Amino acid sequence: MAEQSNHLELTVTQIPLTENSTLVSKKSDSIKEGKAVTHQSSQKTDNTSPKIVLATLNARYFHTSFGLRYLYANLRELQEFCEIKEFIIQTRAIDIVEQILEKKPDIVGFGVYIWNIIETTDVVNLLKVIAPEIKVVLGGPEVSYETEQQGIVACADYVLTGPADISFYQLCKDIINETPPDKKVLNSKPVPLEEIALPYEYYTDEDLKHRLLYVEASRGCPFKCEFCLSSLDKSSTPFELTAFLEQMEILYQRGARNFKFIDRTFNLNINTTMQIMQFFLDRMTEDLYLHFEVVPDHLPRKLKELLAQFPEGSLQFEIGIQTFNVEVQANISRKQNNAKSKENLLWLRDNTSAHIHADLIFGLPGETFDTFKDSFNQLYHCRPHEIQMGILKRLKGSPIIRHTESFDLRFNPLPPFNILSTDRVSFSTMQRINRFARYWDMIGNSGRFKYALPHMLSDEPFDDFMAITEWIFNKTGQIHKISLKKLFELISQSVEALFPEKHHLVIEKIELDYEATKLKSLFNGLKLYAGEQTESITKNKSLKRQQQHMS
């Protein structure tokens, strides 16, 4: 279970959306990185046909917008008048608006998420200034709760809350037929999964080759972890398994080898899990890759036996631990057998070749610096390949908000709405953990220091790495834009300064890590000792531009 999940909203919000792309239909042109990816019907439309554009701003190009494809798949007779345009959040708002307006749309639907709310607000504002006649429809988790208070809602025409697979189609019909609803905010009604058209045929050949493919065997989550929007679900509902596997077979035959399951509890129903895993095991190739979110305390023997058969590089498991503290677990309504979770993590590490990505969250109500340290140490000794340290975020609609007063939860008012302090954790301590998390991602999770890291840390890894974190930050004042070569130097220097008895062995291991990076500079040219002085920069950067003209 991930740190904080999203529901299926205007676009299916359980998955991250993506970058500069425009979806292409089954017979369409291929997608090229950096360009908008357009999904157009094979039927030509005339100039008087109503035009619908489905748009979103994604974090990276290699993601695919699963949700927009769901909406497109369920547009029925309107599908031939619709196309999808995906962008990346780094693209200028004015350039996005220009590309949307080139399509001369009558209706534009936007998927709005925690990671794109600021950029999408800019796009919608510009769009309504330049072309106010266009009907703008919003959806997604970020506008599905506390809706009326948001600036982006004020400049839109309609907002669809909840799963909008069918309701978006109905709204478009009403707008086109000039019978629009008299309300701005419309609540989508739940629809049985068997009534929803599946979107998998709308992945293009380029998607299959170069982008993440999201799939789902079920929707919803039976657990009630309050930091997560999925806690609002009443249960987990599976898609009909035969139809789902038929779609997976079609994707596989088309060449798909990268499947990311967005199910919140993939191993909830073991019989279904076994059938899906066996399906892929029977089709195993060297390049087949499967990603699942796994409940850590629910791995029965027959599933373990099957998992052990998968070869190296074929499985990644995202395992939400969040905290091992039982009081904090009770505060957030999280049910987890800690002993069984740790036992299963160790079993997976020792008996399978799966890549284990385990999650912790800092800032939960009742968590302290020391209790979090204890959770980190326990998880580290379970030996996952990565420990993702998330910071609690205030997702609109999530039940965690009920603790705001009792635990003095203070959240950033701006995206990503991260926790700034609690009654147990000061702002300065929160900043220390933020730096720890950033350096841990660069050093612990990157895989670049797999030889050196175990020798840098003791039985109390949190304290050791916090010392390294603070040494590097005091030395550089940076948590970003540190070159890899410089990072090797800083790690060696910090170990020499903090743990001199380890330094000789760590240097030997760092050399192995450095050789694996294949950097051009020689290892013996690195400044590995804290006493070495770095070159001072004497050139005035403000004169650089002038000097380029004069040289």
Name 8's Cβ contacts closer than 8 Å, sequence gap at least 6. Answer: 14, 67, 70, 163, 164, 165, 219
What average pLDDT score do residues 236-254 get? 97
Name 72's Cβ contacts closer than 8 Å, sequence gap at least 6. Answer: 23, 39, 54, 79, 82, 84, 199, 202
Residue appearing with tokens 């596989």? 252
Cβ-contact 13, 113 below 8 angstroms = yes
User: Cα–Cα distance between 5 and 364 in angstroms, integer?
Assistant: 16
pLDDT in tens, 136-191: 999 999 999 999 999 999 999 999 999 999 999 999 999 999 999 999 999 999 89
What's residue 545's pLDDT?
A: 60
Phi and psi torsions of 335, nearest 5°: -105, 120
Residue 536 has pLDDT above 60, yes or no: no
Between residues 326 and 1, which one has the greater pLDDT?
A: 326
User: Cα–Cα distance between 159 and 369 in angstroms, integer?
Assistant: 40
What's residue 550's pLDDT?
A: 61
The two structure tokens encoding residue 531: 């006493």
pLDDT in tens, 365-396: 999 999 999 999 999 999 999 999 999 999 99
Mean pLDDT lowest for which of 24-28, 231-235, 307-311, 530-534?
Answer: 24-28
User: Cα–Cα distance between 362 and 368 in angstroms, integer?
Assistant: 9
What's residue 543's pLDDT?
A: 62
Binned at pLDDT 50, 70 and 90, residue 40 comes out as very low
Residue 1: closest CA among 254, 276, 329, 247: 329
What's residue 20's pLDDT?
A: 43
Name 119's Cβ contacts closer than 8 Å, sequence gap at least 6. Answer: 57, 89, 93
Mean pLDDT lowest for which of 5-9, 68-72, 280-284?
Answer: 5-9
Residue appearing with tokens 């395992």? 319
Instruction: Return the amino acid letter for 543.
Output: L
pLDDT in tens, 448-497: 999 999 999 999 999 999 999 999 999 999 999 999 999 999 999 999 99
Residue 285: closest CA among 310, 260, 262: 310
What's residue 23's pLDDT?
A: 45
Largest CA distance in the chain: 78
What's residue 48's pLDDT?
A: 57
Instruction: Return the amino acid letter for 309.
Output: Q
Name 106's Cβ contacts closer than 8 Å, sequence gap at least 6. Answer: 50, 51, 52, 134, 135, 175, 176
The two structure tokens encoding residue 69: 């494809």
Residues pairing with 232 in the sheet: none
Half-sphere exposure of 364 (CA within 13 A, CB side): 30
Please state, in angstroms and as integers, the Cα–Cα distance from residue 380 to each residue in 345, 352, 383, 472, 489, following that order: 11, 18, 5, 21, 24
Residue 270 has pLDDT above 80, yes or no: yes
pLDDT in tens, 344-367: 999 999 999 999 999 999 999 999
pLDDT in tens, 76-132: 999 999 999 999 999 999 999 999 999 999 999 999 999 999 999 999 999 999 999
What's residue 415's pLDDT?
A: 92
Which residue segments constitute the domains of the chain, with CATH numbers given? 37-194 (3.40.50.280), 216-425 (3.80.30.20), 436-551 (no CATH)
What average pLDDT score do residues 245-251 get? 98
Instruction: Return the amino acid letter for 304.
Output: K
User: Cα–Cα distance between 177 and 175 in angstroms, integer?
Assistant: 5
The two structure tokens encoding residue 403: 């603790």
User: What torsion, rounded to 10 degrees, do the Cα atoms 223, 227, 233, 235 define?
Assistant: -10
Strands 158-161 and 185-187: parallel
User: Cα–Cα distance between 215 and 548 in angstroms, integer?
Assistant: 52
CA angle 46, 47, 50 (to 5 degrees): 90
Average pLDDT in the chain: 89
Name 422's Cβ contacts closer than 8 Å, sequence gap at least 6. Answer: 363, 365, 367, 407, 408, 409, 410
3-state helix, strand, coil in the chain (%, to 5): 40, 15, 45
Instruction: Give me the DSSP letters along 9-30.
Output: -SSBTTS---SSB----TTSPP
R_g of the chain, CA atoms, integer Å: 25
CB-based burial label for 504 (10 Å; 0-12, 13-18, 19+): exposed
Between residues 45 and 149, which one has the greater pLDDT?
A: 149
Cα 164 to its chain centre, rounded Å, is: 21
* Percent of the chain predicted with pLDDT > 70: 88
Beta strands across the sheet bearing 158-161: 37-38, 82-88, 52-58, 107-111, 135-139, 158-161, 185-187
DSSP label of 21: B
User: Cα–Cα distance between 105 and 102 in angstroms, integer?
Assistant: 8
Compute how many other C-beta atoms are within 10 angstroms of the C-beta atom of residue 186: 20
What's residue 541's pLDDT?
A: 56
Alpha helices in 282-351 (DSSP H): 301-307, 326-331, 338-351
What's residue 542's pLDDT?
A: 59
Residue 13 has pLDDT above 60, yes or no: no
Residue appearing with tokens 């799939």? 215
Phi/psi class of residue 104: alpha, beta or left (left: φ > 0; alpha: ψ in -120 to 50)? left
Residues pairing with 58 in the sheet: 88
What's residue 234's pLDDT?
A: 81
* Three-class DSSP category at 308: coil
What's residue 538's pLDDT?
A: 43
* Percent of the chain predicted with pLDDT > 90: 82
User: Cα–Cα distance between 503 and 493 in angstroms, integer?
Assistant: 9
Residue 537 has pLDDT above 70, yes or no: no
For the chain, how many residues are written? 551
Phi/psi class of residue 509: alpha, beta or left (left: φ > 0; alpha: ψ in -120 to 50)? alpha
pTM of the predicted model as reported, rounded to 2 decimal places: 0.88
> Roughly what angle, to the nearest 10 degrees, separates helices 369-380 and 461-476?
110
